[in-house]
């Protein structure tokens, strides 16, 4: 069994990160193994200080529209995988998507995230053209950046999304261990997925990359992913705990995935202080937000308007219809943690800086 880092050792790693020297691969894996309360708090405190240096007390809110729960993929970790044929699924119309986006924009989010499964109907030429038209209309009306999360896209599709004014392309590898990728993303091509992100970055998109926790990835696997995400040039880095679904991957009982998510958020902050690092409402809902903020997150994702029939990704209905995924409730949590809601204008200026610097 590897010896755990002490609080003093963690503080030294934090200090070096503050001076521009991020943790090494070995140190990242060691930080992800922390069990001591004192050492863990030293890590979280360091992550919060780094967030404050680069972002002040601002946290940005993302509106989330899961526009289609149909998918051609059979990812073992996903609630919406294609083999689950008895699920009740939906595909929202262009008008429904637009209406939800307008509601989110009026509530005060800084970005509209249009997410879907790899829906065969929406990835046809006509279907994707309609999706791009809808994204363009939302962007023009709200003046907010659009994130598109439609799965692997071709060069032609990426060009269409770029012409539509889409700012962000989100595509998660979930793991950079090829054996785990094969087991998790069954029947999919590791390189094809990576190349789609690299093409998007070369075309001027901002890219979000992400990893899955609690399904068998070791700290060394996660450390490799943290380094790989930086090499990709991703500017938003997500880590999200696995929420088991019937017949899916067995949970990794060696770790509590939600605790590992907190460690990952903090280690990502130490590794990439200027990155946007989300706290998702999709795993533990509103009650899980404060710990993720305490670990150094500076974005809250998966804000979903109630009563529009929209679902989450990991949890289909958690905290949606009770308005706990709305701006008002999230803002209360931010205020109680001495944080404030970043404004859309501040967010857009931040994105301009990121594009100019072209690195984390």
Cα 88 to chain centroid, rounded: 25
pLDDT at 110 over 60: yes
Q: How many CB atoms lie within 10 A of CB 152?
A: 17
Percent of the chain scored above 90 by pLDDT? Answer: 88
Q: How many residues does the chain have?
A: 360
| Mean per-residue pLDDT over the chain, rounded | 95
Neighbours of 319 (CB within 10 A): 23
Per residue, the 3-state secondary structure of the chain, as one string, reads CCCCCCHHHHHHHHHHHHCCCCCCHHHHHHHCCCCCHHHHHHHHHHHHHHHHHHHCCEEEEEEEEEEECCCCCCCCCCCCCCCCCCCCCCECCHHHHHHHHHHHHHHCCCEEEEEECCCCCCCCHHHHHHHHHHHHHHHHHHCCCEEEECCCCCHHHHHHHHHCCCCEEECCCECCCHHHHHHHCCCCCHHHHHHHHHHHHHCCCEEEEEEEECCCCCHHHHHHHHHHHHHHCCCEEEEEECCCCCCCCCCCCCCCHHHHHHHHHHHHHHHCCCCECEEECCCCHHHHHHHHHHCCCCEEEEECCCCCCCCCCCCCCCCCCCCCCCHHHHHHHHHHCCCEECCHHHHHHHHHHHHHHCCC
- How confident is the model over 63-85, as a mean pLDDT? 94
Q: Is residue 15 a contact partner of residue 42, using CB atoms and an 8 Å limit?
A: no
Q: Please enumerate, as own/partner, the contacts of 82-91 that have beta carbons within 8 Å and a separation of 24 or more.
A: 83/247, 84/245, 84/246, 84/247, 90/309, 90/311, 91/67, 91/119, 91/121, 91/122
Q: Report whether 63 contacts 112 (CB < 8 A).
A: yes
CA within 13 Å, CB half, 149: 24
The pLDDT score that the predictor gives to residue 358 is 64
Q: Could you tell me the pLDDT band of residue 1, with boundaries at 50, 70 and 90?
A: low
Which percentage of the chain shows pLDDT scores above 70?
A: 99
Residue 263 CA to residue 283 CA, distance in Å, equals 15
Which residues on adjacent β-strands are paired with residue 174? 211
Domains of the chain are 58-357 (3.20.20.70)
Is the pLDDT at 178 greater than 70? The verdict is yes
Q: Identify the band that residue 254 occupies on the pLDDT scale cut at 50, 70 and 90.
A: confident
Note the pLDDT of residue 15.
96
């Amino acid at each position: 069994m590897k010896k755990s880092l002490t609080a003093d050792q963690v503080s030294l790693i934090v200090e070096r990160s503050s001076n521009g020297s991020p943790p090494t691969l070995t140190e990242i894996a060691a930080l992800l193994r922390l069990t001591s309360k004192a050492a863990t708090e030293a890590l979280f405190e360091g992550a919060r200080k780094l967030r404050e240096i680069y972002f002040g007390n601002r946290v940005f809110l993302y509106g989330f529209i899961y526009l289609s729960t149909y998918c051609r993929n059979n990812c073992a970790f996903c609630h919406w995988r294609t083999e689950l044929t008895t699920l009740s699924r939906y595909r929202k119309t262009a008008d429904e998507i637009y209406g939800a986006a307008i509601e989110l924009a009026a509530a005060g989010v800084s970005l509209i995230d249009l997410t879907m499964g790899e829906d065969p109907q929406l990835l046809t030429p006509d279907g994707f053209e309609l999706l791009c038209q809808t994204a363009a209309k939302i962007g023009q009306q709200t003046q907010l950046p659009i994130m598109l999360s439609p799965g692997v896209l071709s060069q032609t599709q990426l060009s269409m999304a770029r012409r539509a004014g889409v700012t962000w392309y989100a595509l998660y590898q979930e793991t950079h261990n090829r054996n785990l990728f094969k087991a998790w993303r069954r029947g999919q091509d590791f390189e094809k997925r990576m190349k789609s992100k690299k093409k998007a970055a070369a075309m001027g998109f901002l890219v979000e990359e992400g990893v899955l926790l609690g399904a068998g990835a070791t700290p060394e696997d996660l450390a490799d992913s943290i380094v790989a995400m930086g090499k990709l040039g991703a500017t938003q880095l997500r880590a999200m705990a696995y929420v088991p679904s019937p017949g899916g991957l067995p949970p990794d009982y060696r770790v509590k995935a939600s605790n590992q998510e907190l460690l990952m958020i903090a280690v990502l902050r130490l590794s990439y202080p200027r990155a946007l690092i989300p706290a998702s409402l999709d795993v533990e809902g509103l009650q899980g937000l404060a710990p993720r903020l305490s670990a150094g997150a500076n974005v809250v994702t998966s804000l979903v308007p109630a009563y529009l029939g929209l679902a989450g990704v990991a949890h289909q209905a958690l905290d949606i219809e009770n308005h706990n995924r709305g701006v008002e409730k999230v803002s209360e949590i931010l205020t109680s943690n001495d944080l404030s809601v970043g404004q859309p204008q501040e967010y857009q200026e931040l994105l301009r800086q990121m594009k100019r610097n072209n690195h984390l």
